[in-house]
Amino acid sequence: MNGRSILAWNLRRLRSERGVSQEALAADSEVDRAYVSEIERRRGNATIDLLDRLAVVLEVPLIEFFREPDGKKPKPLPVGRKPRARR
């Protein structure tokens, strides 16, 4: 695996483990949701500043993005929006 693949794998793994949507992660780290998606699909080239912000939001040390994957595929999050509370 190359560096971009390792970063993509770990970003998705960490986000999935914490139950954070791409949209929520993007909003909290002040980046466009489409760019988070690009990083997870190995198309985006994240700066160290962006990785710092993502790590803060996910509450992990920066080095977590560069750990060798253990081979377990991250579980997908439920799709769709959460239902609105009834009034």
> And the tokens for 76?
């997908």
The Cβ-side half-sphere exposure at 76, using a 13 Å CA radius, reads 3
The Cβ-side half-sphere exposure at 66, using a 13 Å CA radius, reads 8
Rounded Cα distance between 25 and 1, Å, is 25
Q: Which domains does the chain have, with CATH numbers?
A: 3-66 (1.10.260.40)
Model pLDDT, residue 60: 97
Q: What is the pLDDT of residues 14-70, one digit of tens each?
A: 999 999 999 999 999 999 999 999 999 999 999 999 999 999 999 999 999 999 887
Residue 1 burial (C-beta neighbours within 10 Å; 0-12, 13-18, 19+) = exposed
| DSSP designation for 63 | G
